Every structure is written in structure tokens, then in C-alpha cells.
Amino acid sequence: MTEPQHHPTQPTNVCVVMLDSLNRHMLGSYGGTEFETPNLDRFATERATQFTSHVTGSLPCMPARHDILVGALDFLWKPWGSIELWEQPITRVLSRLGVTSMLVTDHPHLFEVGGENYHTDFSGWDYVRGHEGDLWRPHADPSWIGSPAMPARAGDWWTRTQFGDIGLTRGYDRSRTFFRDEVDYPGPRTMTEATRFLREATPHHDSWFLFVDEFDPHEPFDTPAPWAGRYHEERWDDDWIIWPPYAVGAQADGNLSDAEGRHIRANYGAKLSMIDHWFGSILNAFDEGGLWDDTALIVCTDHGHYLGEERGGRDIWGKPSIPQFEPLGHTPLLIHWPGQPGGRTCDALTTNVDLFATIADTYGASIDHRTHGTSLVPLMTGEATSIREWAIGGVYGNWVQITDGVRKYARSSSGDNFPLSMWSNRWSTMPTHVSGYGELPMPDDRAVLDRMPGSTVPVIRQPFRAGDMLPFWVGRHGTDDHHLYRLDVDPDEQENRAGDALELEMTDMLRTALAEIDAPLEQLERLGIS
């Protein structure tokens, strides 16, 4: 590979700030009024181009990061896993070009089975401990007196439904006893370390890439004062619910009271406002270092988070096994590009694999493995007004959906959700369990040596069959449950038009898209469109 060549309109450096479970419709710059996000709003209006039609690709957490760091849609081949042997993460490519890359994160999935090699090709990395399920401390701090964190409800109806009365203990419930002040919480610590890199390290490198993978505002929705209770409109005397349910119809079925729903939603808002505050330190570092002139700043997310929004008359919470309705699948994207004014909007349809393509294009990198994204650089420089006609996404073994920005079609399996296989050469780094809920079967005598779709790479293919304990997230949905919406006239997705003549057109679009990305033929069979 040659040395990086920078076009006059392109930056020398790129900083990506990924905020997990960031709800687009709750940001002020996107019209949200419920919670305060002054720094994200300031970034949007003063420095960034705001994308209005950015959608999810592979879901959930690690598949979405695979989209960004590897550029290849992952959800059609496997549910959750490491970077494959034939894939080149953008960090490995950049290292060959002499570009320094740095990861700053508090995301525990990056260091668990199924994500443990995502950090290895960075020039440096910093892992802030203690978020969510991170097993940071084997015991609670005996000197903790309950401040500043509040008691958290763990054994609620949803936990008991999913796991039984097993006395579930989350790593965070121990870690939080070591947090004394706001600066001790994982989100603030992550932003502090990212800021330190921007202020202290960047002058030592001619060209650099910083990836800030911040797990906030993902649950637990736990914040210290002054954020805690910031959006509560009623007194709350019970243990605070910082672990939201993943459920459909929790309120409709009487499992979650309206007051509890408002309480959970307010706690999300507090987490959102707190991490927005600390994102301000990133903006300050850009101001102080004059980084706006030569550095692209990308703010994105993996997905949103349902907080009681209704679809089909049912309230939705978390990320349950349902299609990616707008609150989850229509996500924010803000990009500062040197030399371009802030306060602009871009209506072009985009998705997360396009971020990989954009980073590669910025540094003039050549990619050898199969990717599915298109660079956003022409959109940023004004050379194009659109880059794709459709975007595809979903969860492995679940709905597959496609959108052209106006029409959105989610198609479930036909019949029994088979045929379904997993394709991987890194089976030993696949998660074999998720919190005791779902097991990944090990390869057996059904496994064959096949070719990765769209390539000549030999790969293990394990077919699944009825009766297997399928991977987490797979198959917990009704068959032939398709969803079709016209977002221009029905933005809240209340009228499912599946069965209309339009469904034939969207089915053809989906079939074409799957062929263009070299999806396994068995996925078309599973969906009943082969």
C-alpha cells in the first residue's frame, strides 16, 4: 500500500464518538424536547452536518460495531462474534499506512467472548472498567454508604420471567459501590480519557484515528446527583429501576405500571443528559487544539432504545425480538467535515457500513475483503446528493428489513425459520451463552467446509435444525409476520401495509439487495423469497 494521500478537502484525522443506545428522537437538534442535550445540539448547529435518513445495519451491539470497524454486514452470517480471519478491520489497514489509531471505551462486550479481538489492531487502547456486566470487582466496597448511587431494583418481574428467582447479580451492582463522585462513573471517565488523548497525544502523531466507544446512555440508567431525578415529575420512594425490561406490552399486560414506565424513561433521560455534558469536553478539546481545521468528528450510535413507544397498540421496551421500528432503527448521525459549515442537513439514505467506507476513503486506504458500504465523502464535499438506493439490516435469524428512506419493509421467516446456518472460522471465539439465556451449539457432524458467500475463503458452516438451542436473539418471533410502512405519511408506523400490492415491489427490492451483498441463498429460502 502507498502512503496516505490527502485531498485538500479531506481531513488528516478522524475521531468517531459512538454513543450506545442513542435515541435520535430525543435529541434537541432532531426535534426532541423531553430531555436536554445542549452539547450534541451545539455540535449539530455550529459544526456538523446532520443526517436525517441514517439507519441501522447489523444488530445488536457487536454486529453493529462490526459494520463500522470492518465494513461488512454481519447479521446474515452469524449472530455475534469476533472479527473473522479473512477480514481486515480499518485499524489494521491504517497501521500499514502509518496512521496511529486509539480506542477509548467502557464497553464491556469488546472484552468478552465474541468481541475480544476488536481492540487488538489499534495502536493503543484504554478500557475504562465497571460498566453494565463488566466483572471488574469480585465484591462490593465495604465502605460504601449508598452515595452517590441509589439502590437498584434487580429482581423485578422481567428478571424473574427471563432468568427465574436465581438471585441474579450483575457486575455493575458491585462496581457502582466504588463510584464516589460523578467523575468515577464509566461514562465521564471514558470522555476524560478521550479528551486526554486529544489534548496530549495528538501533537505527537502526523495522522491519527480515535474511536471513542462510549456505552452510555445504555443501561443501567444510573446517574449521580445532579442528574439523578432531573426529569422526575413525581415522587419516587421505591428502589430506582435502572435496568429496563426488554419486553412488548409490559404496561398493556399490567407487568409495568405507568408510573414505573415514566420513572425508567426519566432515568434514561438523566443518563443521556449526563453523557451529553461530558461530550462537551470533546468539543472543548477540539476548540482548544484547533482540530476543527484538519479533523473529521463523527457522532453515531449502534441503535436506539425503546422506552414505551407504541406499535400496534403495544408498548415496547429495550431491544426485544421485534422489527427495528423507527425509535430503534432510525438513528442519529452527525459529521463535522473540515472546511464545511455547520448547521447543514443531509437527507441521503445512509447506514453504518458507510462509516467504514468513509474512514477508508478519508485515509486513501485500499480494502481487500468484501465490504458493503459506500463512502460519505461525496456527500460531505457536495459532489453528490445520494449514495445508495436502499439500506438493509436486521438481526441474525430474525427479521430482515430494507428501506429506501420512505418505504420500509421487514420480512420474517416463512414457516419454521429454517434453513439457517452460521458461517465462521472463529467458532472458538463465539459467545456460548448470554447470561445463562441461550446456548450456542458447538459444531457437530453437520458442520461442513464451505465457501464464504461472495468469496473463495473456506469457512465452517454449521446448519441448525429444529430442537437446537439457537444463539441468543434468534427465532423468538412469529413466522410470516411481515411489516410494511410508508414513513412519509405514517412516520409512527401505525398502519402495516403488508399484503398490499406494494409488498411485491418491496419483496423484489429485498431479493435484489440480498443478491447484491452475496447473502447466503438459504437466507432467501428462510424468508420465502428464493
Specify the pLDDT at position 6. Answer: 44
Identity of the residue numbered 144: W
Handedness of CA 438, 271, 134, 71 (dihedral sign): positive
**Dist CA 411 CA 398 (whole Å):** 9
Whether residue 2 has pLDDT greater than 50: no
Q: What share of the chain is helix, strand, coil (3-state, %, to 5)?
A: 30, 20, 50
3-state SS, residue 355: helix
Picking from 102, 19, 103, 24, the residue whose alpha carbon sits closest to that of residue 64 is 19
Q: What does the pLDDT look like over 466-503, one tens digit per residue?
A: 888 777 778 666 678 999 999 999 999 999 999 999 99
pLDDT at 436 over 70: no
Which tens digit of pLDDT belongs to each residue from 341-376? 999 999 999 999 999 999 999 999 999 999 999 999
Return the residue matching grid coordinates 462490593: 140
Report whether pLDDT(230) > 80: yes
Q: Could you report the per-residue pLDDT of 379-410, keeping only the tens digit for each? A: 999 999 999 999 999 999 999 999 999 999 99
Residue 148 is predicted with a pLDDT of 63
Pairing state between β 58-59 and 391-395: parallel
For the purposes of burial, counting CB atoms within 10 Å of the CB of 8, is it exposed (0-12), middle (13-18) or buried (19 or more)? exposed
Cis peptide preceding 60, ω within 30 of 0: yes
pLDDT at 180 over 90: no
Work out the number of other CB atoms within 10 angstroms of the CB of residue 409: 25
Most confident of 61-70, 135-144, 160-169: 61-70
Indicate the pairing of strand 100-105 with strand 208-214.
parallel
221, 267 in Cβ contact below 8 A? yes
Asked if 198 contacts 280 with a C-beta cutoff of 8 angstroms, the reply is: no
Task: Please say whether the beta carbons of 468 and 449 come within 8 A.
Answer: no
Element (H, E) at 505: helix 502-516
Model confidence at 253: pLDDT above 70: yes
- Interatomic CA distance for residues 290 and 94, integer angstroms: 23
Strands 208-214, 13-19: parallel, antiparallel or unpaired by DSSP? parallel
Long-range pairs of 2-10 with CB within 8 A, sequence gap ≥ 24 = 2/364, 3/97, 3/98, 4/97, 4/98, 4/99, 4/207, 4/363, 4/364, 4/365, 5/364, 6/364, 9/338, 9/339, 9/381, 10/338, 10/362, 10/377
> Is the pLDDT assigned to residue 458 strictly greater than 80?
yes
pLDDT band at 159 (very low <50, low <70, confident <90, very high): low
Per-residue cell: 363: 485515509
Q: Which three cell numbers stand for residue 67?
A: 459494520
CA R_g for the chain? 22
* Position 164 pLDDT exceeds 60: no
Domain range 13-389, its CATH number among 3.40.50.300, 3.40.720.10, 3.40.50.12160, 3.30.1240.10 = 3.40.720.10
Instruction: Give me 530's grid cell.
Output: 428464493
- What is the torsional sign of CA 363, 364, 367, 371? positive
Percent of the chain with pLDDT over 90: 74
Could you tell me the CA-to-CA distances from 47 to 32, 450, 489 in Å, in that order?
Answer: 19, 48, 31
Partners of residue 53 on adjacent β-strands: 349
* Dihedrals phi, psi of 214, to nearest 5 degrees: -95, 125
Dist CA 235 CA 361 (whole Å): 52
For residues 1 and 364, give the distance between their C-alpha atoms in angstroms, rounded to a whole number. Answer: 10
Of 114-123, 432-441, 461-470, highest mean pLDDT: 114-123
Cross-strand bridge partners of residue 209? 14, 101
Phi/psi class of residue 405: alpha, beta or left (left: φ > 0; alpha: ψ in -120 to 50)?
A: left
Which amino acid, one-letter code, is at 11?
P
Each domain of the chain, given as residue ranges in start order, spans: 13-389, 392-527
